[in-house]
Structure 1
């Protein structure tokens, strides 16, 4: 399967364009999108006081400080700071773990302390390639020996550090089985290091070339995962803007491996989504729909949808949305699949279907879904108890950072089977349907579903997020081991003095503040010598309902 080469041309308006970019995303630099972005900036500048609770570090904000000093200062603040024009009010908000604290995905991304060095934690194995903003390396975590991917960016080569950091902020907030998860962030005066899970299964198109019985059902299965990931992003007001086959990877070499969307370097986070409807409607989000339609066409036909006698003509066909529908393979393609493509690759964004509509299309929905393999898991989850939110945060940290993918692979599939609408979270109704499929009567299923929401929904969203489900399931299946817990203790013990302090936990969880009552609740359970800190034995006691 081929794709268009990366060539630059001057279009009929005298603008230099990238042929491949134009095919994958015809509105990447369009006047309509630029107008929307300019409108967003005007909206933001019009507000003299904005409180943003989700950004925890801005790294570099002051020209009067050196880069290294600026970075250190921001890390030491342990708080969120939003700066505006001179004369505007500056407000600070600290996140707090307490009885009412909402645990968020970004808390599970470890940020290093000022004195920590990247190479003190990781060994570089080999270079994997070039990504947006920097080079990507395969690295080995020295404590766990897990393989991870690290994007290493030379700071002086970054034109806009804010844009690079925006990518990390976007990734930190995402919690979906088909989106790559960022694990750690390092920085020094010379480099940024963004550490993510390693997707060793390779690129989507490269993998397909090796499948002897590749067919339309497999293509639908793959695109369902991509659609689910992008639908989830759109619901969070995030537009990827750079979807292409190279940015879709398999997380392992297993035949049933999970797909992951990567490289959010061109993505945008809409702080105020209201302008999208008022100014340009939904077209801004629909650039991703076009890109997914092109990827789907390539998966089914084996070549890009636009092919002219020359590259310039190909560019013109892409701008006009004139697909190649004359090939023999297109004529043999399933009519429902062709219908979906024709609704996604539409020049007028207002006439293009949404990502949710693409996910709900009959061709996607009619593929056979995997059955839940372990019905006992659904039943046993009702016995899970987080006990308190700090303990829940620790369990989630362990499940994200330390548990092998192989241990949670089946749980991934179970989550996706339960998530019938593909939005990346589980509702009470979806949990109930899972219970009913396990031959639990309706009344009992409703009671159990209510109980699951109450115990698993530690961020109080009213639904069960992906990591909430996985961490609880790992506990109930006794797959969080003593070794996992001891490794977590070593990671939490930042100064290596053999105990974990309240301030060390605060640093681990992204600089949040743990209120005294939450900390006292933990100490009452397991601080045997009453010294106000946790030793390894006491830390193990905190997680005592896990089989040791």
Structure 2
């Protein structure tokens, strides 16, 4: 236990901005991790339907509705790279360098562009070192893979070569939150509280989701919050925040949510982390420090302040240095620095920065604070077609649903930006997604029978955890919308045609379908490939692949029409037809504000 003595601070004590760290550059220490499993479940068997639509002309037998589970045709120890995160070869084979963003002691970061077209991404090259072994780098990848939230950095894939791992990450072109805070501090302009509430609300939502997955970030600071795109604050642009750097993140058990490994950044570190005995609320303290910085332009505990520098210079050990930071945190910051902020924001930051862990709110409790409701004000609207499309998802074949589920993990937050708002408008829970119980109620309000509503929910909740997460939501949207499916087909095709030939041999396609887990056996894969190879050439071209998936979408529409004619489909769903694009003229809107109050942004 550290010996703590009262440390008086001068009346004029204040803190300047910290030196910005290189984005995407973590400090990592070994610790156990439990990756969040994703289990594909078989689709429910469809009920008998009148006037069955004609199958695809290339299919000699009825379409095979395959189970989505571990492929029996996958040999033990086989290396799965199709739609997987690990890729063979070097990243230079698939991406061209745009520019180098930065270099540091923890590696190099490049901005790159896919050679076959598409949006820019970031390559983070991390060399193996004694203080950063291969296992630690892989641990960060596993942590990111386990997180499925629009405000947590997405890792698309990684390449491993001699001595290093190269991660392909989402490009956050708005830069670090730290840079934005520093720029406003230099200009003497305060950030608008509405903007601050957006940033803090999104950050709390992301960390609440992490906590629901038993993960503590442990190194939250303004440098580890990125902006997805550039924002013009004066014009009222809304930010989209992304939490990065899960290298220090620590898994905990629900029945014993205490971390034991000291680590993080002292300026925003919770007092209990310094004692190596902490829980999820240490992240709330760190976010409170960021909120203080957003409101004042200064850190609440800055090592660059002259008084802190004087005290730190006399330290003879790390323990003494830690004790000085602990004393400053127990005493608290100079609250006069946020005196001009609203009373609600001041109350919230004081609660979040409470030195006593038990006095702090959880992320969900902080999000329910009236300051967020005041700042957000207006309720959002979502297309009625979106709920209807989710209900129609159950009509798709198991293969297409499995394919879209994998494609969804490959689509960036920027690509799915229109869906983020709809997802968050539908979400009413702390699980970071849509509670299946809420969806059951919503589907029945559209006119579905309880049995059909349950079937629709099971089709959406792929991993069966009682919560439809973001990628599962995206999968349903892209599968039920012709416009979205065109984008998704290209993403999926690139996973099969890795060299850009425009076609894939049938034998290779069968093998990849098996290895990916999209089908259960060679017979299922063979039936699918024969259906795609409409000309019988022994290979599947991009046009064949696209036509097959388009035909499946048409089958769903025909099945809905047939059921509607005999009165087995609610009028609301029958009228939906193909899903309209967001913002289309005449598209009906549905507000959920009367169901759950003010929505979060």
Residue aligning to 2:546 = 540
Q: Which residue, 276, 285, 291 being the options, matches 2:286?
A: 291
Deviations 1:317-349 (A, max 9, x none): 53324121123xx22322222222222212232
Higher mean Cα deviation, 348-357 or 489-498? 489-498
Residue aligning to 2:240 = 258
Q: Which residue, 458, 463, 481 being the options, matches 2:462?
A: 458
Residue aligning to 2:257 = 276
The 8 Å contact of residues 392 and 458 in structure 1, kept in 2 or not, is answered as no
Q: Which residue, 382, 385, 402 being the options, matches 1:376?
A: 385
1:228 Cα deviation from its structure 2 partner: 0.9
Alignment of 1:45-56 (within 5 A): none
1:316 Cα deviation from its structure 2 partner: 5.2
Tell me, yes or no, if structure 1 residue 492 matches structure 2 residue 496. Answer: yes
CA distance in 2, matches of 1:333, 1:52: 41
1:381 Cα deviation from its structure 2 partner: 2.7
Alignment of 1:471-482 (within 5 A): 471-480=475-484, 482=486
Tell me, yes or no, if structure 1 residue 184 matches structure 2 residue 150. Answer: no
1:536 Cα deviation from its structure 2 partner: 3.3
The 8 Å contact of residues 205 and 245 in structure 1, kept in 2 or not, is answered as yes
The 8 Å contact of residues 297 and 304 in structure 1, kept in 2 or not, is answered as yes
CA-based RMSD of the aligned residues comes to 4.1
1:273 Cα deviation from its structure 2 partner: 4.4
Tell me, yes or no, if structure 1 residue 522 matches structure 2 residue 536. Answer: no
- TM-score, normalised relative to structure 2: 0.65
Tell me, yes or no, if structure 1 residue 420 matches structure 2 residue 420. Answer: no
The 8 Å contact of residues 83 and 407 in structure 2, kept in 1 or not, is answered as no
Residue aligning to 1:61 = none
Change (3 A) 1:322 1:256: closer
Residue aligning to 1:346 = 354
Change (3 A) 1:362 1:244: same
Residue aligning to 1:315 = 325
3-state SS of paired residue (1:501): helix
Deviations 1:411-462 (A, max 9, x none): 1111112223353210135446877xxxx95765978854541332222223
Change (3 A) 1:398 1:52: closer
3-state SS of paired residue (1:480): helix
1:146 Cα deviation from its structure 2 partner: 1.8
Task: For structure 1, list consecutive stretches of 5 or more residues without a partner in the other structure.
Answer: 8-27, 45-50, 56-94, 99-105
Change (3 A) 1:276 1:488: closer
Alignment of 1:16-27 (within 5 A): none
3-state SS of paired residue (2:97): strand
The 8 Å contact of residues 125 and 167 in structure 2, kept in 1 or not, is answered as yes
3-state SS of paired residue (1:382): helix
The 8 Å contact of residues 154 and 191 in structure 1, kept in 2 or not, is answered as yes
Change (3 A) 1:483 1:234: closer
1:530 Cα deviation from its structure 2 partner: 7.6
Tell me, yes or no, if structure 1 residue 206 matches structure 2 residue 160. Answer: no
CA distance in 2, matches of 1:360, 1:371: 17
CA distance in 1, matches of 2:454, 2:104: 44
Q: Number of matched residues? A: 456
Higher mean Cα deviation, 184-193 or 457-466? 457-466
Residue aligning to 2:70 = 96
